[in-house]
Amino acid sequence: MSSSLYRRLHGLFAASTAIAETGAAKSKVFISKTKASSLSPQAPRDKEKVLATIVKKFKKATDSKRFRHHSHNAYQQTVDRLARAQKFSYIEDILEHQKKYPDITTEGFVIRLISLYGKSGMFDNARKLFDEMPELGCQRTVWSFNALLDACVNSKCYDKIEELFHELPEKLSVKPDKVSCNTVIKAFCKMDLLDKAMFFLDEIQKTGIEPDLITFNTLIDAFYSRGCFSDAEKIWVLMEEKNISPNTRSYNPKLRALVADNKIEEAGELLEEMKKKGLVPDTYSYNALILGYCDKGELKEACRWYDEMLKMNLSANQYTFGNLGYCACKMGDFEFGLRICKDVIKSKTVVASDMFQKVVDGLVKLSKMDQAEELVQLGNSNNYFNFKLKLTAEGKEEELKLTEGKEEELKLTEGKEEEDGH
222-251 residues labelled b (16+ CB within 10 A) or e (exposed) = bbbeeeeeebbeebeebbeeeebebeebbb
Distance CA 188, CA 194 (A): 6
Please check the confidence at residue 374 and state whether its pLDDT lies above 60: yes
Note the pLDDT of residue 178: 97
pLDDT digits (tens, 9 = 90+) for 204-229: 999 999 999 999 999 999 999 999 99
Q: Are 323 and 297 in contact (CB under 8 A)?
A: no
Does 419 have pLDDT greater than 50? no
14 pLDDT band, cuts 50/70/90, is very low
- Provide CB contacts within 8 A for 333, sequence distance 6+: 299
**Average pLDDT of the chain to the nearest whole number:** 85
Could you tell me the domains of the chain? 315-407 (1.25.40)
With CA atoms as reference, report the closest residue to 421 among 26, 149, 45, 191.
149
pLDDT of res. 9: 45
Could you report the per-residue pLDDT of 286-315, keeping only the tens digit for each?
999 999 999 999 999 999 999 999 999 999
| Residue, of 349 and 289, whose pLDDT is higher | 289
- The pLDDT, as a whole number, for residue 379 is 73
> Which pTM was predicted?
0.80
Taking the C-alpha atoms of residue 410 and residue 27, their distance in angstroms, rounded to an integer, is 11
Furthest-apart CA pair in the chain: how many Å? Answer: 82
Instruction: Answer yes or no: is pLDDT of 176 > 90.
Output: yes
Confidence band of 351 (pLDDT split at 50, 70, 90): confident
**115-158: pLDDT as tens digits:** 999 999 999 999 999 999 999 999 999 999 999 999 999 999 99
Average pLDDT score over residue span 396-403: 40
